[in-house]
Amino acid sequence: MKTVAIISQKGGAGKTTIALNLAVAAAQFGHQSLVIDIDPQSSAKGWEDLRTEELPVVISSQASRLNALLETARKNGAKLTIIDTAPHSESAALAAARAADLVLIPCRPSLLDLKAITTSIDLAALAKTPALAVLNTVPVRGTLKQEAEAVLQGYGLEILPVHLGHRIAFVHSLTAGQSVLEYEPSGKAAEEIRALYEAVCRSVRWSSLLKPSCS
Ligand SMILES: Nc1ncnc2c1ncn2[C@@H]1O[C@H](COP(=O)(O)OP(=O)(O)OP(=O)(O)O)[C@@H](O)[C@H]1O
Ligand SMILES: [Mg+2]
């Protein structure tokens, strides 16, 4: 089982959006996927309450229960577990980073997000867990993306080669208890999530997660 912690101390960076969409992407490959929601706002759990699909399973939990839950998930055959974290809680984010194989840091290409990201980079380093940044809500036009990439590179943070655009399908799908892969399977947002899932798996060489599974 592989575990990804999605952390960003900045609120609204896209942690929950990315956690849920990646978990559905894994489920569409036939992999048992799980989201552990350690954000007291329980947005991910609230999304699951709107669904009838079996996967991904979403469990609401406290950070202190992470290791025990991950052990149970492993025993029950989970292939990918994604931990969705809260903003402004460094101790919980650190626990998630420590429990994970990979830290994913979503970041909007704005000055405030770029400034706040150093805390997340430090937490991943403290946890000794590899970290990757993903740019979210990137406008189609302009140079914001290039400017943000230059700042992130200056921090020494690896950036995924795939970003998510600012797309209304990300908002509407979550409100409907869906992933963009279910809401608009042939839309641009779905294309971006498939590419993001593949880029994450490739960058950490999780090739088994890129092969369809029947289990
Ligand atoms: N690529 C995108 N395009 C358009 N809207 C987006 C995109 N990503 C996220 N959003 C919207 O931005 C808002 C914040 O996203 P989300 O809840 O995923 O962030 P978060 O980091 O989990 O926030 P919090 O820190 O409060 O947990 C939501 O309304 C979501 O629908
Ligand atoms: Mg959230």
Question: What residue segments make up the domains of the chain, in order of their start?
Answer: 2-204
The minimum-distance atom of ligand 1 relative to the CA of 136 is: 1
Residue nearest to atom 16 of ligand 1 (CA): 14
Q: In the prediction, which pLDDT does 215 show? A: 54
Q: Which fold has domain 2-204?
A: Rossmann fold (3.40.50)
Pocket test for ligand 1, best of 16, 17, 166, 175 (most atoms within 8 A of CB): 17
Q: In the prediction, which pLDDT does 183 show? A: 98
Which contiguous run of DSSP H or E holds residue 107?
strand 102-107
Residue nearest to atom 15 of ligand 1 (CA): 14
Q: In the prediction, which pLDDT does 213 show? A: 87
DSSP string, 112-128: HHHHHHHHHHHHHHHHT
CA distance 123 to 90: 8
Query: Does residue 177 line the site of ligand 1, with CB under 6 A?
Result: no
pLDDT digits (tens, 9 = 90+) for 61-72: 999 999 999 999
Query: Does residue 14 line the site of ligand 1, with CB under 6 A?
Result: yes
Parts of the chain with a pLDDT under 70: 214-215
